[in-house]
Amino acid sequence: MADPKKLFIKTYGCQMNVYDSERMAEAMAPEGYETTEVMEDADLVLLNTCHIREKAGEKLYSDLGRMRSLKVARPEMKIGVAGCIAQAEGAEVMRRMPIVDLVVGPQAYHRLPELARGAGRKVDTDFPTEAKFDLLPERQGRRGPTAFLTVQEGCDKFCAFCVVPYTRGAEMSRPVEGVLAEARGLVERGVREISLLGQNVNAYHGQSDGADVGLAQLIGALAKIDGLERIRYMTSHPNDMEDALIAAHGDQPKLMPYLHLPVQSGSDRILKAMNRKHTAESYLRLIERFRAARPDILVSSDFIVGFPGETDADFEATLALIREVGYGAAYSFKYSPRPGTPAAEKPELPAEVTDARLHALQALITQQQRAAQDAMVGRQTTVLYEKPGRMPGQMVGKSEHLMAVHVAHEGASVGDLVQVRITAASTNSLAAVPLG
């Protein structure tokens, strides 16, 4: 047999890209490709890109710039650009970067093997006329204890700042049977925790024998899989929230007490300008209902600061909302104008205003995160071990609330799900001892 060819994948952006990279690697395995960690050794380099903020795009072009000498040294090496930049500006990538051999969009990567065969520069950024997931090979190999599983893709919401509806296309949900089969396959390969992914994962409405199945019902079906111990989902949208999902947090023990529900801003004026179609108040009422169903649920969010037209009062409203919710974690970003989005037409705020607001918001979030971590001390929780720690006999994993936990546990293995007591906290991690 011929020596295996080597595939190097670099992933930028969100978890959905992490998942897509795994599936692209699996799609290339029947072509004789093995993955490598060393770009210089690769026969095919894939850059799985993100378009969400300007910086993400700059990274791609600077990485490609650095790869020029590699391509000169090894002209037979192929370079492919995948993901959301491929979709948004594949033709421009091809024009600006002659070293790129192929461009493949997020909805076309089941055709990657075909694109990578033979000579010539190729672009495939078609949106689906067929079900991508049905055409990909089954999940392969031995797996770690946690896995991502994309169940929903695309977005119809068109927030004024966001490229996702253009890069990932319209909202679609995978059929229930395909999701369950993939989950069973993952569990057989050692997975004990699955995070269901979607740009608007709670908009999930899949089909099963002609019946419509929402996310809560899908979680219920997954929970019946023996050996699958934990289920998570992200990212949710406030406008797609259904009563059944809120209730599931009270009824379904395998569903972890963590809710990532981005609000973006606490000012109704800005939310309207963002085309978010929810208010600060409606968001707060939703959080209240989740806390009624599961009092200890940890809430996280995404925030954009410096959206065009954001005044000091608007920003104060965001800080007020943060104080009212009490977040356990959050991601915050400076507004970045994206080509083709409505907000990009509007004048930007001065950089120093946006910088100062980001700084203030992050200071408040860090304070809240620290408080949430500190509140865990003395409590019991389970931890799923993901890797050995740096100290001998130490294991590292995640708690139910998705906090990183270090446990002194001689003889334990990766994949063990262990009852522990939290003994100490810092802003980013917890220490614990095993019980029993």
Task: Indicate whether 158 belongs to the interface with ligand SF4 (CB under 6 A).
Answer: yes
CA 212 and chain centroid, separation: 25
Task: Indicate whether 19 belongs to the interface with ligand SF4 (CB under 6 A).
Answer: no
Task: Indicate whether 158 belongs to the interface with ligand SAH (CB under 6 A).
Answer: no
Task: Indicate whether 50 belongs to the interface with ligand F3S (CB under 6 A).
Answer: yes
Task: Indicate whether 397 belongs to the interface with ligand SAH (CB under 6 A).
Answer: no
Task: Indicate whether 172 belongs to the interface with ligand SF4 (CB under 6 A).
Answer: no
Q: Contacting ligand SAH (CB under 6 A), which of 161, 204, 258, 385?
A: 161
Stretch that binds ligand SF4, among 15-23, 96-104, 161-169, 350-358 (CB under 6 A): 161-169
Q: Contacting ligand SF4 (CB under 6 A), which of 150, 199, 267, 381?
A: 199
Task: Indicate whether 165 belongs to the interface with ligand SF4 (CB under 6 A).
Answer: yes
Task: Indicate whether 51 belongs to the interface with ligand F3S (CB under 6 A).
Answer: yes
CA dist., res. 350 & res. 342, Å (int)? 19
Q: Are 33 and 70 in contact (CB under 8 A)?
A: no
Q: Contacting ligand F3S (CB under 6 A), which of 21, 107, 152, 167?
A: 167
CA dist., res. 188 & res. 140, Å (int)? 10
Nearer to ligand F3S, 164 or 248 (CB): 164
Nearer to ligand SAH, 11 or 336 (CB): 336
- φ, ψ at 40 (rounded to 5°): -60, -25
Nearby residues of 240 by Cβ (< 8 Å), 6 or more positions away: 200, 202, 203
Q: Which residues pair with 47 in a beta bridge?
A: 10, 81
Task: Indicate whether 12 belongs to the interface with ligand SAH (CB under 6 A).
Answer: no
Q: Are 156 and 197 in contact (CB under 8 A)?
A: no
CA dist., res. 146 & res. 389, Å (int)? 17
CA dist., res. 124 & res. 83, Å (int)? 11
Residues of span 336-375 touching ligand SAH by CB under 6 A:
336, 338
Tokens of 336: 């970045």
CA dist., res. 399 & res. 146, Å (int)? 13
Nearer to ligand SF4, 334 or 379 (CB): 334
Q: Are 45 and 78 in contact (CB under 8 A)?
A: yes
Q: Contacting ligand F3S (CB under 6 A), which of 168, 237, 357, 409?
A: 168
Nearby residues of 76 by Cβ (< 8 Å), 6 or more positions away: 43
Q: Are 328 and 290 in contact (CB under 8 A)?
A: no
Count of helices and strands (H, E) across the chain: 13, 21
Nearer to ligand SF4, 93 or 162 (CB): 162
Binding pattern for the stretch 5-34 against ligand F3S, x by CB under 6 A and - elsewhere = --------xx-xx-----------------
Residues within the interface to ligand F3S (CB under 6 A): 13-14, 16-17, 50-52, 83-84, 163-164, 167-168, 199
Please give the residue ranges that form the binding site for ligand SAH (CB under 6 A): 52-53, 161-162, 164, 199-200, 235, 237, 262, 264, 302, 304, 333, 335-336, 338
